[in-house]
């Protein structure tokens, strides 16, 4: 009987988590153009491990949800525009590593195009 209770608790926890999990939407469902879709793949590969894209929940780094739709970046107060965010991606800032030697300018532009959709 005790084993049944343990199983019931584990199952209900997993079921609750699964119900709250949002299924990943396709590029088409999100209405992404080809540049934004390329940026999404870069985000998934390079950014998602530290930055939550669609949620306000923070991972290691701050959420990127709506970050480029604001006037200023939440942590630094710097302007929230392509030039400033591109420089942060390129050169890094605080705990964020630089990606200027890893990503081409076109890849950074694609990434920024995707970030505008968040």
DSSP string for 82-106: HHHHHHHHHH-BTTBPP-TTTS-HH
pLDDT at 60: 76
pLDDT at 2: 56
What distance in Å separates the CA atoms of residue 75 and residue 116, rounded to the nearest whole number? 18
The domain in which residue 99 lies consists of 32-115
In a domain, 109, yes or no: yes
pLDDT at 43: 94
Tell me how many domains the chain contains.
1
pLDDT at 21: 52
pLDDT at 95: 87
In a domain, 82, yes or no: yes
DSSP string for 106-118: HHHHHHHHHHTT-
Q: Domain with 45 in it: what CATH number?
A: 1.10.760.10
- Per-residue pLDDT 10s for the chain (118 aa) are 555 455 454 555 544 444 445 677 889 999 999 999 999 999 999 998 888 787 666 677 788 888 899 999 888 888 999 999 999 999 998 889 999 999 999 999 999 999 999 9
pLDDT at 56: 61
pLDDT at 15: 47
In a domain, 8, yes or no: no
């Amino acid at each position: 009987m005790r084993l049944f209770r343990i199983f019931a608790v584990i199952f209900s926890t997993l079921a609750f988590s699964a119900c709250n999990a949002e299924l990943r939407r396709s590029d088409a469902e999100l209405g992404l153009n080809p540049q934004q879709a390329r940026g999404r793949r870069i985000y998934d590969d390079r950014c998602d491990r530290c930055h939550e894209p669609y949620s306000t929940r923070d991972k290691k780094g701050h959420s990127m949800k709506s970050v480029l739709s604001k006037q200023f970046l939440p942590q630094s107060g710097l302007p929230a525009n392509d030039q400033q965010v591109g420089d942060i991606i390129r050169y890094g800032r605080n705990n964020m590593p630089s990606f200027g030697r890893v990503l081409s300018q076109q890849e950074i532009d694609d990434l920024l195009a995707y970030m505008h959709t968040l």
